[in-house]
Amino acid sequence: AVKQRLAEGIVRKDPEKAASMLAELQQDTSEALENLRDLARGIYPPLLADKGLTSALEAHARKSPVRSEVQATGVGRYPQEAEAAVYFCCLEALQNVAKYADASRVAITLSGGNAELAFSVADDGRGFDAATTPLGAGLQNMADRLAALGGSIEVRSRPGEGTTVTGRLPVRADEGRMV
């Protein structure tokens, strides 16, 4: 709503900027609608339930406004709460890349084994000073989501060098069964 009012005020003064803001607003609205649909389906997206983490992230990457690729090594099926935590953390990281990074590409890496499920989302965007910049709400939500399951998150970034978000989630060896 704030962006909409701002864009309406700018439309007379700077039509190009207003058009850009309206396009961003449309993207935000589409993402919000998609998130609401996921919630209506019980928070656990059907593709994630049916095909698993790798397939669900590949499908989302194909729709991303930033060129994205998914690589997975040793990733099988995990308990629903583990798959959901990693899936939604990756989606949040992708959303941050699209909104803030000014990146041309992003790589999502998944790995299973050694009693953990790990992911990283790395972009080639503008980066930021991770040492002095407090975690935003999205990164804090990712940290909380993983911590609730005994996991952790690390954010590495430097101005001009992109950003990498890495998460680790402990799983029992028998939970990561291969599909």
Token pair for 31: 């993402």
The residues facing 113 across adjacent strands are 116
Task: Name the residue with higher pLDDT: 150 or 35.
Answer: 150
Closest among 125, 51, 128, 64 to 90, alpha carbons compared: 64
147 and 80 in a single domain? The answer is: yes
Report the number of distinct structural domains present in the chain: 2
Domain membership of residue 147 as a residue range: 52-175
Residue 118 is assigned to a structural domain of this protein: yes
Residue 135 is assigned to a structural domain of this protein: yes
pTM: predicted TM-score of the whole model, two decimal places:
0.75
Write the pLDDT tens digit of every residue in 122-159.
Answer: 999 999 998 898 888 889 999 999 999 999 999 999 99
9 and 92 in a single domain? The answer is: no
23 and 84 in a single domain? The answer is: no
